[in-house]
Amino acid sequence: MTSTRAMFKKPKSVLRRVVNVLLAAVLMLAGPAVMITSYQQVHADEELARTGVHVTGTITYFSDARKASNRDITVEFVAADGVNRYAHAPLDHEQHPYIGEQVTVSYREQQPDQAVVLGY
């Protein structure tokens, strides 16, 4: 005996199947693209840390949020041009900096706004 619901179930339309396949393909391609972009950003930060101008900066803001993506610090530093600039860095839950702490900042000499906080 066949249930009434099973007898009247509509088959998926061709358009819906095509949309599902396209969506799956986009998601499968997006994963590697995000991984490559992330790798390039990490590599750029490591290169800047290695080759940039190193100066001492001061932590001026510390967000001790529960959500890991909201934990970060702001560091003020003075570039070679004498202008006060700010660098931001995300934190792990194991890191517990304090406002006023001295840290090392590495920045690009031609573009001082591009900076990384070493150790964070």
In angstroms, rounded to a whole number, what is the distance separating the alpha carbons of residues 92 and 98?
Answer: 14
Mean pLDDT, residues 2-15? 66
Mean pLDDT, residues 24-45? 84
Could you tell me the pLDDT band of residue 15, with boundaries at 50, 70 and 90?
confident
Mean pLDDT, residues 5-14? 66
What is the residue extent of each domain of the chain? 52-117
With 80 as the cut, is the pLDDT of residue 9 above it?
no
* 8 A C-beta contact, residue 79 and residue 72: no
- Beta-ladder partners of 104: 56
In angstroms, rounded to a whole number, what is the distance separating the alpha carbons of residues 89 and 116?
Answer: 7
Q: How many helices (H) and strands (E) does the chain have?
A: 2, 5
**What pLDDT, on the 0 to 100 scale, is given for residue 75?**
98
Could you tell me the pLDDT band of residue 10, with boundaries at 50, 70 and 90?
low
Ranked by mean pLDDT, the top range of 35-39, 77-81, 91-95 is: 77-81
pTM, two decimals, is 0.69
Mean pLDDT, residues 48-62? 97
pLDDT digit string, tens, across residues 35-51: 888 778 888 889 999 99
**What pLDDT, on the 0 to 100 scale, is given for residue 116?**
97
